[in-house]
Structure 1
Amino acid sequence: MVPIRAIRLGSHPFPFLLVSEWALLAIALWSEFSPTLLRRSAGFPAAAQAIVLLFGLMGIWLPLRPQGVKIAHFILQVILILLAARWSTVGLRLFPLLQIVLVLRSSLMFNMLGRVLVTSGTFVVFLIMVQSQLQSLGRSLPPRANEVLLPQLSGIRLNLVVMFSLVLVFLLMLMNALIAERQRGEELKMANQKLKESAAQIEILAMGRERSRIARDIHDSLGHALSGLNIQLEGALKLWEADPEQARNFVTQAKMMGSTALGEARQAVATLRQTDDLRKDLSSEIDLLIQRFRETTGVLPQVAVDCPPLPESVNLTVYRIVQEGLTNISKYARADHVRITIKASSEPAQLAITIEDNGVGFHPHHNSTGFGLRGIRERAEAEGGQLRLITAPGEGCTLSVWFPLDREVT
């Protein structure tokens, strides 16, 4: 953000203050022609009016930096006020109005300390001017009249001083409130700008995560069905001549797998189009996975599900983890015993998923590029959980996933 070096007519932060200044200056000019009992014969009304106009034009440009320019601008305004009061024929009425305008402008130019100093100095100068005017008035009156009017003049002076001090305090508080509100507005504007930039970055990250999620879903759903279809077709090809009946069964199951893959593809498209999410029962959906796994491999896994109803997002995460685990076993493990455990606990409040098999196992560090385990790990981490894999060649595999749950769920 480029720092503002000056306040100009078109960029004034508070246009109503400009209108107020012009109104006060108009009153000051009009006061030169208003009737008064104590007009000074030594005044120069034309010069005073020209100075007031010049003082008004200085409000069109108020420097904000550097500090030396601000001080010079302020001093020049003070000199113009003193000259206007000196040459005016009704200086006592003209002077306070110009001082009020000076305080308003200085509040925009200086910080809090500068505003207090300007306001205090203005009050002191006003006090001196009032005292000087009253002393001049006392010297011009006869002694007898001076004795009679002295108490009344003292009361008038006290009233003027108190009223002007209250006006200055009010102006100082008003300007502080306006400037503070203005600064908060600027900070809010900058915060909104940063928020927009952050939102754009988040959108980019979200698009990347969404692409990863879509890749996981396609791999988990279609990959599972197509892997089973491929196994069935391989079996049919091997038994095509030796056992045509069994080959026909394999082809039939392959057709079922193809229908399942087509259904998964349609479901993925429906999800991408943001249709209503299917509210699945976890146990029944896992049972379907088990049946497909049995049809594909001939192995019936042991399943133990002990958990309360879970949020839909958690149901989907559990389903995909079990699905991917069974897909990996059917493709690589050559196991004849599989056990799946899903259990929720209250202390701590978490859900644990364990998938065990007695297959051939593998070296965990040699399988770092596959989408299967990577997808399971990403799903677990998305729920704030962790993945642990225990396996070795010839010793089967144990895959454990756990992530926290809300206590209300458990």
Structure 2
Amino acid sequence: MNSSPVQSRSSPIQLLLLLEWVLLAIAAIVQILVTISNPDLGLPLLNMLGLILFAAIRWCLPDRWSHKLLYTAAEFGLLLLLTFVGDFPSPSLLYVVLTMRNCILLAGQDVLEGKVRSTITLLALVICLLSQTYRLWSGRLLVHVSPSQIGSVWIGFSIVLGLVFLFLHLLVDAILAERKGQEQLAAANMRLCEYALRVEELATAQERNRIARDIHDSLGHSLTVFNIHIGAVLRLLHKDPLEAEALLLEVKDLGSQALQEVRQSVTLLRAEPLKGRSLDAAIGSLATEFQRTTGINPTFTYRIAQSLSAELNYTLYRLVQESLTNIYKHAAATQVSIEIEQIETKIQAIVRDNGKGFALYCNPAGFGLQGMRERTLAVGGILNIQTALTGGCQIQAIFPVDTDVLTKN
């Protein structure tokens, strides 16, 4: 059992608890006044002891459902003793207290507990009416009522008492419903806080992945070209010093560019590889750089008349850049083609090479391929890779784009 009455942060509940003590105090004062004015009426000592006991058990509220029912039955038994044996002068106050106390005690919101609360309220009202009817017809009221007025007084008292019990029952139900709503709101708020933390963690992870992709795509590309140039410089250093010097200057420029891109990624700045250029011009620059580095002249086809979104332009650029980087490093190709075109409401990008290829399902996907998949999925696209040993490789990305997006700007 609880060692103290139910404590609640709800001010209406606290008000009901205060009202309970006020009614008990009034009942005690009435009993004292009756004892002083008419000591032969009822059993004053029994009534005072019973009243003290009824007030004291307020501090020993049970927790279990079966114990709550026994507790309520004991309360009814005590009040019946005070009403019909001790002839308590104001039993209506005690039954009102019992109703409020047990509505709070049985504070669950399910159907069964609601029915039990209603049953207890109705039973308290019926017993209270029976006790007052008995006192009225036996002449044991605190005020004198003439026989001709007994019927009217009984009807009026029954109506008032019924309204009081109905009001108390509805009031307690409303207070409990409000408290339940506050608890649900607090729980929902806590869940929202948890979801916000999860979203923040996911956003952080997504941003880390984006930075990792940017570092791989931009810095990886620059370092690959850097390595190829250094190899060429070593070969030409004694045969053609002027060409070697020119390549070293390009390496210096690439180093500066790579350093700038690393700074941008570390400071969480989104790279702008297009630098204000159109997508076809930016990819044309990639193709030119690829030719200068490898000696392979890629064919580039661009068939999109409308403007695309900045995000899609960025994704297409990075996909082509990563594909060309992979071709430098692994393909040993002699022919490369780049195609970007619109097919109805879809944008398709294809990069093909005739290099040595690889076994897609036997070889673990590298970070570059994973990054391309992530970039493609981020804008709602699909990435297809067709390759085989000695069979070259084809990277195809398809993006569904609404006509309104294609024609804007």
Smaller-chain TM-score bracket: 0.7 to 0.9
Counterparts of 2:49 and 2:260, CA distance in 1: 89
1:170 matched to 2:172? The reply is no
| Preserved CA contact (<8 Å) 2:217 2:368 | yes
Deviation at 1:255, TM superposition (A): 1.8
Give the RMSD, CA atoms, in angstroms. Answer: 3.4
Unaligned runs of 5+ in 1: none
| Preserved CA contact (<8 Å) 1:307 1:344 | no
Instruction: Give the corresponding residue for 1:158.
Output: 155
Counterparts of 1:277 and 1:381, CA distance in 2: 20
1:249 matched to 2:246? The reply is yes
Instruction: Give the corresponding residue for 1:401.
Output: 397
1:16 matched to 2:12? The reply is no
Instruction: Give the corresponding residue for 1:130.
Output: 132
1:63 matched to 2:56? The reply is no
Aligned partner of 1:233: which letter?
Answer: I
| Preserved CA contact (<8 Å) 1:362 1:392 | yes
* Residues 2-401 of structure 1: pairs in structure 2 closer than 5 A: 6=2, 8-9=4-5, 11-12=7-8, 14-33=13-32, 41-65=40-64, 67-86=65-84, 91=89, 94-110=90-106, 111-137=113-139, 146=147, 149=148, 152-200=149-197, 203-271=200-268, 283=279, 284-298=281-295, 299-304=297-302, 306=304, 308-333=306-331, 334-343=333-342, 345-346=344-345, 350-401=346-397
| Preserved CA contact (<8 Å) 2:83 2:131 | no
| Preserved CA contact (<8 Å) 2:6 2:61 | no
Aligned partner of 1:101: which letter?
Answer: V
| Preserved CA contact (<8 Å) 1:7 1:61 | yes
Unaligned runs of 5+ in 2: 107-112
Deviation at 1:205, TM superposition (A): 4.9
CA offset digits 1:152-171 (Å, max 9, x no partner):
32122112212222222222
- Using the size of structure 1 for normalisation, the TM-score is 0.82
Deviation at 1:19, TM superposition (A): 0.9
Aligned partner of 2:49: which letter?
Answer: A
Partner SS, residue 342 of structure 2: strand
CA offset digits 1:42-95 (Å, max 9, x no partner):
323343233223212222232231x3311221122222323333466662xx21
Aligned partner of 1:340: which letter?
Answer: E
Aligned partner of 1:189: which letter?
Answer: A
Deviation at 1:319, TM superposition (A): 2.8
Counterparts of 1:112 and 1:279, CA distance in 2: 69
Counterparts of 1:392 and 1:277, CA distance in 2: 31
Between 1:20-29 and 1:361-370, the stretch displaced more is 361-370
- Using the size of structure 2 for normalisation, the TM-score is 0.82
**Percent identity for Structure 1 against Structure 2:** 34
Deviation at 1:405, TM superposition (A): 4.4
**How many residue pairs end up in the alignment?**
391
Cα gap change, 1:307 to 1:323, in 2 (>3 Å) = farther
Deviation at 1:394, TM superposition (A): 3.9
| Preserved CA contact (<8 Å) 1:31 1:90 | no
Aligned partner of 2:168: which letter?
Answer: L
Between 1:8-17 and 1:19-28, the stretch displaced more is 8-17
| Preserved CA contact (<8 Å) 2:349 2:396 | yes
